[in-house]
Amino acid sequence: MLSTKPIDASQLTFRYSGSAEHYEYDRDTEKRAKDQTRNEDTGMPVWKIRCVAVYKEAGEHGEITVTVPHPEPPAAEFDSEISFTGMTVKDWSINGNQGQTWHAGSFYPAKPTAPPSTTAGNGPAAKKAPATA
Protein backbone atom coordinates (compact mmCIF):
# COMPACT_ATOMS: atom_id res chain seq x y z
CA MET A 1 0.00 0.00 0.00
CA LEU A 2 1.52 3.32 -1.13
CA SER A 3 0.11 6.74 -0.40
CA THR A 4 1.82 9.94 -1.65
CA LYS A 5 1.17 13.23 0.16
CA PRO A 6 2.57 16.73 -0.38
CA ILE A 7 4.55 18.14 2.54
CA ASP A 8 4.24 21.73 3.77
CA ALA A 9 7.89 22.23 4.68
CA SER A 10 7.44 25.87 5.69
CA GLN A 11 7.62 24.99 9.40
CA LEU A 12 10.58 22.64 9.00
CA THR A 13 14.28 23.41 8.90
CA PHE A 14 16.66 21.01 7.16
CA ARG A 15 20.35 20.59 8.13
CA TYR A 16 22.66 19.01 5.52
CA SER A 17 24.49 15.77 6.40
CA GLY A 18 25.65 14.50 2.99
CA SER A 19 24.59 13.11 -0.36
CA ALA A 20 25.07 10.01 -2.52
CA GLU A 21 23.94 8.56 -5.84
CA HIS A 22 20.51 6.89 -5.79
CA TYR A 23 20.05 3.41 -7.27
CA GLU A 24 16.50 2.11 -7.66
CA TYR A 25 15.65 -1.15 -5.89
CA ASP A 26 13.88 -3.82 -7.94
CA ARG A 27 11.54 -5.86 -5.72
CA ASP A 28 11.25 -8.61 -8.35
CA THR A 29 15.00 -9.32 -8.54
CA GLU A 30 15.70 -8.06 -4.98
CA LYS A 31 18.70 -6.12 -6.34
CA ARG A 32 19.67 -2.51 -6.88
CA ALA A 33 19.99 -1.14 -10.41
CA LYS A 34 23.54 -0.96 -11.83
CA ASP A 35 23.06 2.57 -13.17
CA GLN A 36 22.18 5.66 -11.16
CA THR A 37 18.45 6.42 -11.22
CA ARG A 38 17.38 9.24 -13.56
CA ASN A 39 14.31 11.44 -13.31
CA GLU A 40 11.76 10.32 -15.92
CA ASP A 41 10.72 13.89 -16.82
CA THR A 42 14.08 15.69 -16.91
CA GLY A 43 16.65 12.91 -17.35
CA MET A 44 18.67 14.38 -14.48
CA PRO A 45 20.43 11.99 -12.12
CA VAL A 46 18.65 11.35 -8.82
CA TRP A 47 20.55 11.83 -5.56
CA LYS A 48 19.92 10.89 -1.93
CA ILE A 49 20.38 13.82 0.43
CA ARG A 50 20.74 12.97 4.11
CA CYS A 51 19.62 15.68 6.50
CA VAL A 52 18.13 16.38 9.88
CA ALA A 53 14.58 17.72 9.72
CA VAL A 54 13.82 20.05 12.63
CA TYR A 55 10.28 21.01 13.67
CA LYS A 56 11.02 23.72 16.26
CA GLU A 57 7.40 24.35 17.29
CA ALA A 58 6.93 20.78 18.44
CA GLY A 59 10.50 20.38 19.68
CA GLU A 60 11.06 17.42 17.33
CA HIS A 61 13.81 16.42 14.93
CA GLY A 62 14.93 13.34 13.03
CA GLU A 63 17.23 12.11 10.30
CA ILE A 64 15.67 11.65 6.88
CA THR A 65 16.88 10.92 3.36
CA VAL A 66 15.29 12.87 0.52
CA THR A 67 15.65 11.78 -3.11
CA VAL A 68 15.94 14.68 -5.52
CA PRO A 69 16.91 15.13 -9.19
CA HIS A 70 19.94 17.41 -9.53
CA PRO A 71 22.35 17.96 -12.44
CA GLU A 72 25.46 17.43 -10.27
CA PRO A 73 26.22 15.99 -6.84
CA PRO A 74 24.33 18.14 -4.31
CA ALA A 75 26.70 19.81 -1.90
CA ALA A 76 26.50 22.14 1.05
CA GLU A 77 28.57 22.75 4.15
CA PHE A 78 27.99 20.05 6.78
CA ASP A 79 25.14 20.97 9.17
CA SER A 80 24.26 24.07 7.13
CA GLU A 81 20.65 24.91 6.41
CA ILE A 82 19.27 23.63 3.09
CA SER A 83 15.88 23.85 1.41
CA PHE A 84 13.74 21.68 -0.84
CA THR A 85 10.88 22.50 -3.20
CA GLY A 86 8.01 20.25 -4.23
CA MET A 87 8.42 17.94 -1.28
CA THR A 88 6.30 14.80 -0.97
CA VAL A 89 6.31 11.77 1.28
CA LYS A 90 5.16 8.24 0.48
CA ASP A 91 3.88 6.13 3.35
CA TRP A 92 4.40 2.48 2.61
CA SER A 93 3.59 -0.86 4.18
CA ILE A 94 4.94 -4.09 2.71
CA ASN A 95 5.03 -7.54 4.33
CA GLY A 96 4.41 -6.15 7.81
CA ASN A 97 7.07 -3.44 7.49
CA GLN A 98 6.18 0.22 7.16
CA GLY A 99 7.95 3.53 6.68
CA GLN A 100 8.18 6.70 4.64
CA THR A 101 10.08 7.71 1.52
CA TRP A 102 10.76 11.44 1.07
CA HIS A 103 11.10 13.06 -2.38
CA ALA A 104 11.62 16.64 -3.59
CA GLY A 105 11.59 18.43 -6.92
CA SER A 106 14.74 20.43 -6.20
CA PHE A 107 17.37 21.19 -3.57
CA TYR A 108 19.38 24.29 -2.78
CA PRO A 109 21.70 25.38 0.04
CA ALA A 110 20.69 28.35 2.19
CA LYS A 111 22.05 31.66 1.04
CA PRO A 112 25.60 32.30 2.25
CA THR A 113 26.05 34.98 4.85
CA ALA A 114 28.00 38.09 3.92
CA PRO A 115 31.61 38.26 5.15
CA PRO A 116 32.34 40.69 7.99
CA SER A 117 32.58 44.29 6.83
CA THR A 118 36.04 45.85 6.46
CA THR A 119 34.81 49.44 6.10
CA ALA A 120 35.55 52.22 8.59
CA GLY A 121 34.65 51.24 12.12
CA ASN A 122 34.63 47.48 11.46
CA GLY A 123 37.22 44.81 10.83
CA PRO A 124 40.93 45.00 10.01
CA ALA A 125 40.65 47.98 7.64
CA ALA A 126 39.34 50.10 10.52
CA LYS A 127 42.57 49.77 12.56
CA LYS A 128 44.72 52.87 12.40
CA ALA A 129 48.47 52.93 12.40
CA PRO A 130 50.02 54.51 15.47
CA ALA A 131 50.78 58.21 15.10
CA THR A 132 54.43 59.10 14.49
CA ALA A 133 56.07 62.46 15.26
Domain architecture of the chain: domains with CATH: 2-111 (2.40.50)
Q: What angle do CA 102, 108, 109 make, to 5 degrees?
A: 110
pTM of the predicted structure, to 2 decimals: 0.75
Angle at 128 between CA 125 and CA 130, to 5 degrees: 150
Per-residue model confidence as pLDDT tens digits over 34-89: 999 999 999 999 999 999 999 988 889 999 999 999 999 999 999 999 999 999 99
Which of the pair, 45 or 115, is modelled with greater confidence?
A: 45
